[in-house]
């Protein structure tokens, strides 16, 4: 059994910063890509940022220059530093991880989400 637990969401004024964290736990052998997605009311879930095991990153154009994704492979954690937040960043943010379990099965795992609200 594998779990992803997000933390760090909250209410912040436009221009402020938040740092999201996600910890993977359970029967994990290794983790390939990890990333953050978000879903705003009435919109599709979209990729915000992804980071490969070797550190290669990719960002949505809307967050480039403002958000930074990082990971610690020894702790099975991934983080998203969000700076200069805008009201349009308001969404539920979900952690995603491509996990190889100890029984060698692969799975695309999701956290339950953490709410980020940016006021103007």
CA distance to 46, 94, 97, per residue, from 43 (Å): 9, 14, 22
Paired tokens of 73? 């492979």
Cα separation, 35 vs 52, whole angstroms: 9
pLDDT of residue 1: 83
CB atoms within 10 A of CB 43: 9
Convert the pLDDT of each residue in 22-68 to its tens digit.
Answer: 999 999 999 999 999 999 999 999 999 999 999 999 999 999 999 99
pLDDT of residue 3: 95
Paired tokens of 12? 């912040």
Catalogue the E-assigned strands of 8-113. Answer: 10-13, 18-26, 28-39, 46-51, 57-59, 67-72, 77-82, 91-101, 106-110
Q: How many CA atoms lie within 13 A of 57 on its CB side?
A: 18
Angle 62-65-66 (CA atoms, 0-180°, nearest 5)? 75
Convert the pLDDT of each residue in 71-106 to its tens digit.
Answer: 999 999 999 999 999 999 999 999 999 999 999 999
């Amino acid at each position: 059994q594998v779990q992803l637990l997000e933390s760090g969401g909250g209410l912040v004024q436009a221009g402020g910063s938040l740092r999201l964290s996600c910890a993977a736990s359970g029967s994990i052998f290794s983790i390939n890509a990890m990333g953050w997605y978000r879903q705003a009311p009435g919109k599709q879930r979209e990729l915000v940022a992804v980071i490969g095991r070797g550190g290669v990153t990719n960002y949505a154009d809307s967050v480039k220059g403002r958000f930074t994704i990082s990971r610690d492979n020894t702790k099975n954690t991934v983080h998203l530093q969000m700076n200069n937040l805008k009201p349009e960043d308001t969404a539920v943010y979900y952690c995603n991880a491509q996990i190889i379990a100890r029984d060698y099965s692969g799975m695309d795992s999701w956290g339950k989400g953490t709410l980020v609200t940016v006021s103007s």
